[in-house]
């Protein structure tokens, strides 16, 4: 018998069709339901993009109004959830807090097992509304501060700043944040989305699928990279050390965080727009520390391109942007969750529309068949 070809990491393997998003190779552009992300980032709010991903079309004025009202009404956490989350160890990573929160929401929802599209849309909207409240409360808890309740008069992005800092930043900061949410929202069969589809394919529930997806996103080869980028910039410290640091890191065979991509080999289509928004933050911050970090960020990008020919991915500018917005590093990947919850849940609904159990094969390379030895009998 011939050994079947192995696609380690499922690289290049096509497992299903999807109508949610695609990367158009010729133009290197990412589209959601046919719209280029650049266009969406320039003209739409994150709420409109969430609606688009779930329902397939952009909302009209009335639909958007109703959608926003529902999202705002769903934000508050009940007392049991707030108490449960407050009891988690203060040392635990905020991704563990989000993962636990989603799992707990599932245990509280009497419609948990209803996998209809309507029920899943309702659950998705509730998660979209509540996850920022969890992330903001946890951000404040790490600083020994009491949570701030959501404000229903504020949009999704602004309300998040209000809940984290008790104040609203400049419009440039809010816009940059919103752009990051739009760019992070969806990316086809990436590791966490695929994880959500695998769980859904067993006909398990949406909360279980999202809980698993959060676990997959946490890792540094995926969403955890935006945090790793900032740790790396802090480790290097100064623009003049970027090249030397990189040469040593590459000699040590280290992965340079925020660079490279499984799908994009000539640059991540989302990077230019995120970089532009981040540059605006640096200019408007008018602060020596921001200028130093921006110079270091740019020096490392150039060095990586000249040494390895590897381009940055979205996490590279987003990591710096989130730092400049005032978030502490452990909050960065939770911000990714607040956005990607839209893509995950759109894929969960789509998986159920034409479900087939996801169950690949492996080539066995362990010991041949043998008898249990006497000492173990
Ligand atoms: N630093 C150093 N070398 C790299 C990097 C990197 N960031 N990315 C790729 N390479 C090299 C790798 O060493 C390999 O070289 P060689 O062929 O000589 O062994 C070659 O490029 C191909 O790498 P690969 O691991 O086979 O490619 P992949 O498609 O499996 O990797 C990746 C994709 C994202 C896992 C990888 O680029 C990586 O580890 N990047 C750093 C982590 C990161 O930024 N992740 C975020 C991904 S995108 C957004 C997101 O999901 O959040």
Q: How far apart are CA 365 and CA 5, in angstroms?
A: 14
- Which residue, by CA, sits nearest to atom 12 of ligand 1? 255
Quick one: tokens of 346? 């759109």
Q: Does 90 score more than 90 pLDDT?
A: no
Three-state DSSP state, 353: helix
Can you give the residue range of the structural domain that contains 338? 20-171+185-219+330-353
Claim to verify: residue 194 and residue 240 sit in the same structural domain:
no
Same domain, 167 and 295: no
Q: Are residues 277 and 340 in the same domain?
A: no
For a mutational test of ligand 1's pocket, the pick from 214, 255, 322, i.e. the residue with the most ligand atoms closer than 8 A to its C-beta, is 255
305 belongs to a structural domain = yes
Q: 264 by DSSP, 3-state: which?
A: coil
Same domain, 27 and 130: yes
Residue nearest to atom 34 of ligand 1 (CA): 261
For residue 374, being part of any structural domain is answered with: no
Q: Is the CB of 147 under 6 A from ligand 1?
A: no
Going by pLDDT thresholds of 50, 70 and 90, the confidence category of residue 306 is very high
The b/e string for 34-68 (b: 16+ C-beta within 10 A; e otherwise) is ebebbebbeebbbbbbbbbbbeeebbeeeebeebb
CATH number of 311's domain: 1.10.230.10
Let me know if 261 is a catalytic residue.
yes
* Distance (Å, whole) CA 165 – CA 353: 41
Residue 46 CA to residue 95 CA, distance in Å, equals 22
Cα 163 from Cα 146, distance rounded (Å): 10
Q: Give, using CA atoms, the residue closest to atom 44 of ligand 1.
A: 258
Answer yes or no: is 38 within a domain: yes
Residue 264 has pLDDT above 90, yes or no: no
In a domain, 246, yes or no: yes
Q: Are residues 78 and 200 in the same domain?
A: yes
Residue 134: name the closest of 334, 290, 282, 270 by CA. 334
Confidence of residue 27 (pLDDT cuts 50, 70, 90): confident
Residue 339 belongs to a domain: yes
Same-domain pairing of 43 and 59: yes
Catalytically annotated residue among 139, 162, 187, 261: 261
To test ligand 1's pocket by mutation, which of 260, 261, 312 has the most ligand atoms within 8 angstroms of CB? Answer: 260
pLDDT value of position 183: 98
Residues 95 and 191 in one domain: yes
Among the ranges given (204-213, 232-241, 263-272, 340-349), the one the predictor scored with the smallest mean pLDDT:
263-272
pLDDT at 149 over 80: yes
Alpha carbons 81 and 74: distance in angstroms, whole number: 14
Give yes or no: residues 311 and 295 share one domain: yes
- Condensed to tens digits (0 to 9), the pLDDT of residues 106-125 reads 999 999 999 999 999 999 99
- 30 neighbors 187 (Cβ within 8 angstroms): yes
For residues 69 and 192, membership in a common domain is answered with: yes
Predicted pLDDT at 265? 78
Are residue 127 and residue 165 in the same domain, yes or no? yes
53 CA to centre of ligand 1 in angstroms: 28
Q: Per-residue confidence at 75, pLDDT binned at 50, 70, 90? A: very high
Atom of ligand 1 nearest to the CA of 316: 44
Answer whether residue 174 shows pLDDT above 90: yes
Same domain flag for 86 and 166? yes
Structure tokens at 323: 């730092």
CA 75–ligand 1 middle distance (angstroms): 37
Q: Does some domain include residue 375?
A: no
Let me know whether 132 and 70 are in one domain.
yes
Instruction: Grade residue 3 by pLDDT with cuts at 50, 70 and 90.
Output: confident
The residue-averaged pLDDT of 310-333 equals 97
In a domain, 132, yes or no: yes
Indicate whether 24 belongs to any domain.
Answer: yes
pLDDT in tens, 46-71: 999 999 999 999 999 999 999 999 99
Q: Separation of 17 CA from ligand 1 center, angstroms?
A: 25
Q: How many domains does the chain have?
A: 2
pLDDT of 29 = 87
CA of 300 to the centre of ligand 1 (A): 16
Calpha distance 103→205 (Å, rounded): 11
The CATH number assigned to the domain holding 38 equals 1.10.580.10
């Amino acid at each position: 018998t011939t050994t079947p070809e192995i696609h380690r990491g499922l690289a290049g393997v096509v497992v299903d069709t999807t109508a949610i998003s695609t990367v158009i190779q010729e133009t290197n552009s990412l589209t959601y339901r046919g719209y280029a992300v650049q266009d969406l980032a320039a003209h739409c709010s994150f709420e409109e993009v969430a609606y688009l991903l779930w329902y397939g079309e952009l909302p009209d004025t009335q639909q958007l109004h109703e959608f926003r009202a529902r999202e705002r009404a769903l934000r508050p956490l009940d007392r049991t959830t707030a108490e449960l989350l407050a009891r988690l160890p203060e040392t635990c990573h905020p991704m563990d807090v989000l993962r636990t929160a989603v799992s707990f929401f599932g245990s509280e929802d009497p419609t948990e097992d209803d996998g209809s599209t309507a029920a899943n849309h309702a659950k998705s909207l509730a998660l979209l509304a509540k996850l920022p409240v969890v992330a903001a409360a946890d951000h404040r808890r790490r600083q020994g501060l009491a949570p701030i309740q959501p404000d229903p008069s504020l949009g999704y992005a602004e309300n998040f700043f209000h809940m984290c800092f008790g104040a609203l930043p400049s419009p440039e900061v809010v816009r940059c944040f919103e752009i990051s949410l739009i760019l992070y929202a969806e990316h086809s069969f990436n590791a966490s989305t695929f994880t959500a589809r695998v769980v859904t394919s067993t006909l398990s529930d949406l909360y279980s699928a999202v809980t698993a997806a959060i676990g997959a996103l946490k890792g540094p080869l995926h969403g955890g990279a935006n945090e790793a980028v900032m740790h790396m910039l802090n480790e290097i410290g100064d623009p003049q050390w970027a090249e030397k640091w990189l040469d040593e890191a590459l000699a040590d065979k280290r992965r340079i965080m925020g660079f490279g991509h499984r799908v994009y080999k000539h640059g991540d289509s989302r990077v230019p727009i995120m970089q532009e928004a981040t540059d605006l933050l640096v200019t408007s911050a008018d602060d020596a520390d921001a200028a130093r970090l921006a110079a270091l960020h740019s020096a490392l990008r150039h060095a990586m391109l000249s040494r390895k020919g590897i381009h940055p991915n979205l996490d590279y500018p987003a990591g710096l942007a989130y730092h400049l917005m005032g978030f502490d590093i452990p909050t960065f990947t939770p911000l990714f969750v607040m956005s990607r919850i839209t893509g995950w849940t759109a894929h969960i609904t789509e998986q159920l529309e034409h479900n087939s159990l996801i169950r690949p094969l492996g080539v066995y390379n362990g010991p041949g068949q043998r008898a249990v030895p006497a000492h173990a009998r």
